[in-house]
Every structure is written in C-alpha cells, then in structure tokens.
Amino acid sequence: MSEVPGSPKATRLGSPSWLDGRLVLGVLLVLVSVLVGAKVLAGADTSQQVWVATRDLAPGTVLASGDLQVGRVRLFGTSPLYVAGAKPVGYVVRRSISRDELLPVGSLNEPGTVVARRDITLPVPTGHLPPDLARGEQVDVYVTPDDKAAKRLPTKGLDPFAPRLVLQALTVSRVVRSGGLGSSGQDQPVVLSVDPGDVLALVAAMGEGRIDLVRVPRTQQGPLTSAQVP
C-alpha cells in the first residue's frame, strides 16, 4: 500500500499593522472630508447676532437688561442698520419698537436724552377703529368732516365731506376699555403718543368731525422682526 501524503502546513495571516499604507490613506481621507465639510458649513452660516426687543417699547423708554435679548439672524448686507455688540442698557428709545423687532440703530438716543412726546386722547366711535387695537401698535388718523366743518373748510373743488388723512404711524399709548364704552353709539377713547408739533393737527381734527383709526400692519411698523427670520 502507498503512503497517504501528509497535510500541508497551515499558513497564518499576519496581524494588521497601523502602519499599513491603505489604512493610513483611508484615515486621512476621512479627516480631510470632515475638515472640508466643517469649512463649507461655517462659510454657509452668514447669520449675525443682534439685539431684539422682548416687549413693546414706547418712545422715551430707558432700556433695561430685561428689555433685550440676543437674536441670531441673516441680514444680507443690512447689518449696519441694527444694533449689535455691547448690550445698549441705559439708551433711550426714540420711536415705538414692537416686541420681537430687531433693534434699529436709528431708534436709540444716548443715555440721559429726554425724548419730547405728548399723549393726546382721541374719542373714536365704535366701529371706526380695530376692535383688538393694543398699546404699542401704530395707526393712521383720518377725519371725516361734519356739516359745519365742511362749510368752512377750503376744498378747492374737492368733496368737502371726503375723509382726509391727518397724521400717519402714530403710536398707541393706551386703549380705554371700560363700562359701556364699547356699546353701540359710544366713543372709545384712544391715547396716542405724538410729537409736540403734531398736537395741534389732532386737536383741530377732533373739532372737524368723526375720527377713524386705521392700523398700520406690523410688517410696515418695523424693518424686520425675529419671527420673520429663518
């Protein structure tokens, strides 16, 4: 009988080495991909930090820390128009600023500045103002002359009874809602904050006839609000 050949000697695979060229190349490719991705994402983030109002701010308000919060928004080249950097505590608001509105640079005066404003109360008939009108909003004021006013006003060929615009974008300081003021046929007092030079125009309009208040849309009251920014 012939001999059975012996089994060949088993060859063991060598342990992988960290210095293997393919492994090193793979690790380098992963690191490069991560670094490139991070750089692309950083370049795509063009948002900036600016200050945003946490509540409605009336003219003459001295800013406190709680009136402002940081907002991160994309301004697309308009960043010089808004307040950034150090928190402007102590500065004085010179015009109405709505809640969530970005703080415009031109809306503030230096600390200690006195903003000259006057509050004037207009009697507005029910149905001639927005039913949910609130403090801090802005309105346009119109007057419709009554019979007596229409006869004495110079019309220059125009309809003497036609409504006319008195003043635009006045800030509401207060809307008086109490008792029977909201019932039919009653006037609803609305307090407006105005420049001293606008007082005479409003007083004269109240003597001419019926007052109407038209709300200025919030999107037109301020350039930009944080709620509008993605």
pLDDT at 227: 46
Whether 66 is covered by a domain: the verdict is yes
pLDDT, tens only, 151-168: 666 656 567 678 889 999
The structure tokens listed for 72 are: 């991160």
pLDDT, tens only, 72-101: 887 777 778 888 888 999 998 887 788 888
Q: Of the candidates 98, 113, 128, which is a domain's last residue?
A: 113
Q: Of the candidates 62, 79, 113, which is a domain's last residue?
A: 113
If asked whether residues 213 and 136 sit together in one domain, one would say yes
Q: Please state, for a pLDDT cut of 70, what percent of the chain lies above it.
A: 73
Is residue 14 classed exposed, middle or buried when 0-12, 13-18 and 19+ CB atoms within 10 A define those classes?
A: exposed
pLDDT at 89: 92
pLDDT at 43: 56
Q: Which residues pair with 144 in a beta bridge?
A: 210
CATH label of the domain that carries residue 54: 3.90.1210.10
Domain extent, residue 69, equals: 48-113
If asked whether residues 103 and 123 sit together in one domain, one would say no
Res. 194: pLDDT tops 90? no
Number of domains present in the structure of the chain: 2
Average pLDDT, the chain: 78
Q: What is the 3-state secondary structure (H, E, C) of 123-172?
A: EEECCCCCCCCCCCCEEEEEEEECHHHHHHCCCCCCCCCCCEEEEEEEEE
pLDDT band at 4 (very low <50, low <70, confident <90, very high): low
